[in-house]
A and B are shown apart, each in its own frame.
Chain A
Amino acid sequence: MPTSRPAPFFQRMDWLLFAVMLALAVTSVCFIYSASYRGPGQPMPAFYRQQMIWFGAGLAVYVAVMAVDYRRICQWATVWYVLAVLSLVLVLIIGVQVYGARRWLGWGRLGIQPAELAKLAVIVTLAYYLFHRTPEQRQDWKTVLAPMIVTGVPLLLILVEPDLGSALTLVPILFAMLFMAGARVKHLLLAVLLGLCLTPVAWWQMKTYQRQRLAVFLNPNRDPLGAGWNLNQSLIAVGSGGVTGKGFLQGTQNSLGYLPRTVAPNDFLFSVIAEEKGFVGAACVVGLYAVLLGRGLRIAANARDRLGMLLATGIVAMLFFHVFVNIGMTIGLMPVTGVPLPLLSYGGSFALVSMTALGLLQNIWIHRRNY
């Protein structure tokens, strides 16, 4: 522990990371507005204002998370983990059922998704666990197995809800962190192989709608008016945006409801941006994420200790998975799953989780090594 504390944290924090986060949040509010816009004189759903409240709350959590040393936060890893698992169990019992899935814990309009919080808990727990292994232990196959179990429990609970997208997010987090912790590549490949062997089981376990989505992913022209509707309409929205887009509030795919109003502000917000701002706008958004994750990787590289490095890795892996799967989904690169776009998609839980995660990154950066 350093004896002389360096300058206050806001002087040491990564302002570029903060600026990119704010830019994405502002973009989010603007395009959630656009996604719920139906034309002049039409009633306007208050999604965008709701999102502003979430971002406000997220900013408070962000500052709070920055203020407490990440090492202290990680000491409580077991508690976070147990709390996360308990809430995942709870949601299965008393969760609010929406579209046949129990994902929400909530009172009235205020609801959170434990699955989103569980992602952070898993990252913290894995970082804490792997940090405390000796270099020799980290080479051992048991050090691979234990994190798999740690990840597997919430993963299965989330699958039961069901929420395939969130459950799958845990997988890249696990592998990225094991990889960065120094686990043997041989062990990791073995784990991947095992996972592939389980694929038929997964198919057998899937709900009909999930199978349909996969089938549509493999062949977008299958059932374009049913299961393939969202994918096709998203492709048309993105593609018809062209290079410069149709202009703010001018996206017909979105405002006329071809891109269904239930998904436009959240899972398919990127399609709205791409339709209205074109390739230029879409590339800018991708660029913002690239800067965001690039900064995250720099933070990992400059972390004071292995704990910070692993934590940063897990966060980057989580955010990257979300960005890649969500944007990939809107252009048919990935199957349709309900994985939200960090800081852009409408939704409180993941906005909070994303900002907490970015707060943790700032935290690690503030406590980085000094040269």
Chain B
Amino acid sequence: MSFLMTTGDIPFRLRVFSGIVAAGFLLLLLALFRTQVINAEMYGTREQAQSLRRIRLPSARGDILDRHGVLLANNRPSYDVVIYLDQLRISKRQDIYRVASSNLAVLAEAMKLPVTLAERDIRTHYHKRRPLPLTVWRDLPPPTQALFAERAAQLPAIELIATPIRQYPNGALAAHLLGFAGQAEQPDDEEGDEFYYYQADTAGKQGIEKTCDEALRGAPGGRTIRVNPSGRSVGEVGYKPAERGDRVTLTIDANIQRIVENALDHAPLPGGAELRAAAVVLDPRTGEVLAMASRPTFDPNLFTPGAPAAEVGLVLRNPASPLLNRATGARYAPGSTFKPVTLLAALDSGAVRAGDTSVCKGSLQIGNRSFGCWNRHGHGRVDAATAIRWSCDVWFYEKGMATKVDAIARTAKDFGLGQPSGYDGGGELAGLVPTPAWKQAHYGERWWDADTAQLSIGQSFLLTTPLQMACLCAALANGGKVWKPFVIRRIATAEGVIVSETKPELRRRISSPHFEFARQTMLATVQATDGTGQRAAVPGVSVAGKTGTAEADIRVDGAVRRIKRVWFIGFAPYEAPRVAVAVLLEQGDSGGHTAAPVVGQIFAGIFGKPTARAERGGVHAD
């Protein structure tokens, strides 16, 4: 320090004064050291916290394809007009709502569109999400885009941006299976910190869109921007693009799907009946779902952001529940389509032999009640083969009671009834296989022989979904292999790297020496001229199947009405089955008259043959 002060003759008081000054400087240096070195990180964090904002960028959903690569769901650009409120020049005395709405009013007039944003929307956005674009109009058609382009130059804070929007190119095709996507809800806790502007993904709400949501969504990207004290963005600091969602390939065949839906739509319904139906087509060699349809249906394209609320409400409030996938999400008594199960249970239990006969007089007295056969005139002497072919109830009443409920219920469960099939498309109900113990627990009543009789013809408390019946049909077709049905064949990244692939999974193998017999009776049901299922026949294709008609009481306008649920399960070709089908219609004349023709049309479509009905019609025309 000698260069600062000459040593020697310095008065004492000057030394004291110099000491005070030196101490002051030391204090400043120490305080600076504390602020800039020791606490630097804390202040750095505070600096970033107040000036950096992270914006979450939603990812585009992945495509959904059928087994041959046909697009079932993808994205299209929606051209939206947005306003950046932070870019509007407003002075302190001006009001954001006034400035924004006067800007928009100019544009609205030019584009002949009404501004639907409420004052609250603008204010909330300004206070909570200032650097983000606020959408004014969605999905503009090209002519309106052109009108916007003419005006855009004068309005610096307003832009036209393209955002991906979910699209289902085939409209309502496979609507229930695919489901639909809508705006995801913002998680409140984890990502709700104040420096995070959340832009939600589209989330799957139903069907494959829901079950594969995680894969389809992809990974969100992020943008970090710097904002000034008034919250206006002044530049981008970091950017990470969102990763497109994975591509999901289904086992569905779009062609078969179209055939099935077409067949359902043309079902020969009795007069006055509404079309409420479901159909499932499986590959009995693997358990792959080739088609799945439900009626009534809806257009999933309706559920895009900004869709007219009135139309959406119409779908949601429709008493026919068009959103319900009846193929997996509704339970019905299977009726006579259950009889092959009873038959196998009876033969396998040893209590009944194929040659055992009953005499059907149109009804059977059990206890003090009379139980009718569908044929009031009676079938006469009936054996196992004709009991299936004619669908005779009396034979099944008698032989079922001889077999006992436990054996029937066990076989039913072996076929996968009364439990979820493990289907990967979601929304599945378990159905119900009643047992004496179950009845005791739920009704406090013992199991009567009459219950066994009813169960034998697929009634009483038995409930199944069309999907379960399709699985059952597939197992009958392939000689006892109960597959786990699946619809998601493969998940791969947008670049094509396979993430997962589904292998067929055998749930159970039922071994019975009587399978071939049961299959033969089903072939005869369709092929014999006295079979109940002959309307499912397709010339040149060996179709086998079983009809079903189950009575059910429903409430219509407060009054109880008895209607007939009609079924048909079938497989083809008989020698080496490639297709198994289950069709249900909530209201019909009988399985043979209403459901069998639908299945016939499906097989005809799949195997490229005209139906027997059409052919006969053609002959008559000649």
Q: Knowing A253-B47, A298-B6 touch, does A239 contact B1 (C-beta < 8 A)?
A: no
Interchain CA distance A323-B39 in the complex, whole Å? 23
Of the listed stretches B29-37, B155-163, B166-174, B550-558, chain A binds B29-37
CB contacts (< 8 Å) of B27 on chain A: these are: 333
Q: Are B6 and A302 in contact (CB under 8 A)?
A: yes
> Chain A, 256-272, contact with B by CB distance < 8 Å: what is the 0/1 string?
11100000000000000
Q: Knowing A239-B43, A242-B44, A298-B5 touch, does A320 contact B13 (C-beta < 8 A)?
A: no
CB contacts (< 8 Å) of B40 on chain A: these are: 239-243
Chain B, Cβ-Cβ closest to A16: B3
Q: Are B28 and A238 in contact (CB under 8 A)?
A: no
Q: Are A328 and B31 in contact (CB under 8 A)?
A: yes
Most interface-central of A176, A240, A290 (chain B CB within 10 A): A240
Interchain CA distance A16-B21 in the complex, whole Å? 19
Q: Is B42 an interface residue (CB 8 A)?
A: yes
Q: Are B1 and A294 in contact (CB under 8 A)?
A: yes
Q: Are B43 and A240 in contact (CB under 8 A)?
A: yes
CB contacts (< 8 Å) of B32 on chain A: these are: 238, 274, 279, 282-283, 286, 327, 331
Please tell me which one of the listed residues A39, A242, A258 contacts residue B51 in the complex, with CB atoms under 8 A apart. A258
Q: Are B234 and A39 in contact (CB under 8 A)?
A: yes
Q: Is A297 an interface residue (CB 8 A)?
A: yes
State the Cβ distance, B307 to closest chain A Cβ, in Å. Answer: 41
28 contacts between A and B (CB under 8 A): A179-B13, A238-B43, A239-B44, A239-B47, A240-B40, A240-B46, A241-B36, A256-B226, A256-B234, A257-B229, A258-B50, A274-B32, A274-B36, A279-B36, A286-B29, A286-B32, A289-B25, A293-B21, A294-B5, A298-B5, A300-B14, A301-B5, A301-B14, A302-B6, A313-B14, A316-B17, A317-B17, A328-B31
State the Cβ distance, B212 to closest chain A Cβ, in Å. Answer: 43
> Chain B, 587-601, contact with A by CB distance < 8 Å: what is the 0/1 string?
000000000000000
- A-B residue pairs, 3 tightest by C-beta: A239-B43, A294-B4, A240-B47
Q: Is B310 an interface residue (CB 8 A)?
A: no
Interchain CA distance A239-B17 in the complex, whole Å? 31
> Chain A, 269-292, contact with B by CB distance < 8 Å: what is the 0/1 string?
000001000110011001001110
Chain B, Cβ-Cβ closest to A275: B47
Q: Is B114 an interface residue (CB 8 A)?
A: no
Interchain CA distance A257-B234 in the complex, whole Å? 11
Q: Are B43 and A301 in contact (CB under 8 A)?
A: no
Q: Is A235 an interface residue (CB 8 A)?
A: yes
A239-B43, A286-B28 known; 13 new pairs, CB 8 Å cut-off, are A237-B47, A256-B227, A256-B229, A257-B228, A282-B36, A283-B29, A294-B1, A297-B17, A298-B6, A316-B17, A320-B21, A323-B28, A327-B32
Chain A, Cβ-Cβ closest to B49: A236
Q: Is B512 an interface residue (CB 8 A)?
A: no
CB contacts (< 8 Å) of A78 on chain B: these are: none
> Chain A, 220-234, contact with B by CB distance < 8 Å: what is the 0/1 string?
000000000000000
Most interface-central of B33, B46, B47, B226 (chain A CB within 10 A): B47
Most interface-central of B11, B13, B18, B43 (chain A CB within 10 A): B43
Chain A, Cβ-Cβ closest to B39: A239
Q: Are B35 and A331 in contact (CB under 8 A)?
A: yes
Interchain CA distance A316-B21 in the complex, whole Å? 9
Q: Is B559 an interface residue (CB 8 A)?
A: no
Interchain CA distance A180-B20 in the complex, whole Å? 13
CB contacts (< 8 Å) of A238 on chain B: these are: 32, 35-36, 43
Interchain CA distance A37-B159 in the complex, whole Å? 29
Q: How many B residues face the partner with a CB closer than 8 A?
A: 40
Q: How many A residues face the partner with a CB closer than 8 A?
A: 49
> Chain A, 298-331, contact with B by CB distance < 8 Å: what is the 0/1 string?
1011100000010001001100100110011001
State the Cβ distance, A166 to closest chain B Cβ, in Å. Answer: 19
Chain A, Cβ-Cβ closest to B45: A240
Interchain CA distance A298-B8 in the complex, whole Å? 11
Q: Is B24 an interface residue (CB 8 A)?
A: yes
Q: Are B37 and A279 in contact (CB under 8 A)?
A: yes
Q: Knowing A252-B51, A290-B25, A320-B24 touch, does A301 contact B229 (C-beta < 8 A)?
A: no
Q: Is B10 an interface residue (CB 8 A)?
A: yes
Q: Is A213 an interface residue (CB 8 A)?
A: no
Chain A, Cβ-Cβ closest to B36: A279
Q: Are A313 and B50 in contact (CB under 8 A)?
A: no
Chain B, Cβ-Cβ closest to A297: B18
Q: Are B17 and A180 in contact (CB under 8 A)?
A: yes
CB contacts (< 8 Å) of B10 on chain A: these are: 301
CB contacts (< 8 Å) of A293 on chain B: these are: 21, 25
Interchain CA distance A49-B4 in the complex, whole Å? 33
Q: Are A297 and B4 in contact (CB under 8 A)?
A: yes
CB contacts (< 8 Å) of A135 on chain B: these are: none
Interchain CA distance A256-B228 in the complex, whole Å? 5
Q: Are A179 and B47 in contact (CB under 8 A)?
A: no
Interchain CA distance A16-B17 in the complex, whole Å? 22
Chain A, Cβ-Cβ closest to B40: A242
Please tell me which one of the listed residues A176, A258, A289, A323 contacts residue B17 in the complex, with CB atoms under 8 A apart. A176
Q: Is A182 an interface residue (CB 8 A)?
A: yes
Q: Is A295 an interface residue (CB 8 A)?
A: yes
CB contacts (< 8 Å) of A290 on chain B: these are: 22, 25
Chain A, Cβ-Cβ closest to B46: A236
Q: Are B36 and A235 in contact (CB under 8 A)?
A: no
State the Cβ distance, B37 to closest chain A Cβ, in Å. Answer: 6
CB contacts (< 8 Å) of B46 on chain A: these are: 236, 239-240
State the Cβ distance, B18 to closest chain A Cβ, in Å. Answer: 5
Please tell me which one of the listed residues A242, A256, A295, A301 contacts residue B36 in the complex, with CB atoms under 8 A apart. A242
Most interface-central of B9, B14, B228 (chain A CB within 10 A): B14
CB contacts (< 8 Å) of A274 on chain B: these are: 32, 36
Interchain CA distance A293-B22 in the complex, whole Å? 9
Interchain CA distance A246-B227 in the complex, whole Å? 17
CB contacts (< 8 Å) of A324 on chain B: these are: 24, 28
CB contacts (< 8 Å) of A182 on chain B: these are: 13
Q: Are A180 and B37 in contact (CB under 8 A)?
A: no
State the Cβ distance, B82 to closest chain A Cβ, in Å. Answer: 24
CB contacts (< 8 Å) of A235 on chain B: these are: 35, 43
State the Cβ distance, B89 to closest chain A Cβ, in Å. Answer: 14
State the Cβ distance, B78 to closest chain A Cβ, in Å. Answer: 34
CB contacts (< 8 Å) of A252 on chain B: these are: 47, 51, 226
Interchain CA distance A295-B24 in the complex, whole Å? 16
CB contacts (< 8 Å) of B16 on chain A: these are: 179
Q: Are B21 and A297 in contact (CB under 8 A)?
A: yes
CB contacts (< 8 Å) of B9 on chain A: these are: 301
CB contacts (< 8 Å) of A243 on chain B: these are: 36-37, 40
CB contacts (< 8 Å) of B42 on chain A: these are: 239
Interchain CA distance A322-B14 in the complex, whole Å? 20
CB contacts (< 8 Å) of A258 on chain B: these are: 50-51, 228-229
> Chain B, 200-238, contact with A by CB distance < 8 Å: what is the 0/1 string?
000000000000000000000000001111000010000
Interchain CA distance A167-B102 in the complex, whole Å? 51
CB contacts (< 8 Å) of B44 on chain A: these are: 239-240, 242
Interchain CA distance A2-B372 in the complex, whole Å? 146
Please tell me which one of the listed residues A257, A279, A289, A302 contacts residue B33 in the complex, with CB atoms under 8 A apart. A279
State the Cβ distance, B136 to closest chain A Cβ, in Å. Answer: 28
Chain B, Cβ-Cβ closest to A252: B51
Interchain CA distance A43-B393 in the complex, whole Å? 94
State the Cβ distance, B224 to closest chain A Cβ, in Å. Answer: 13
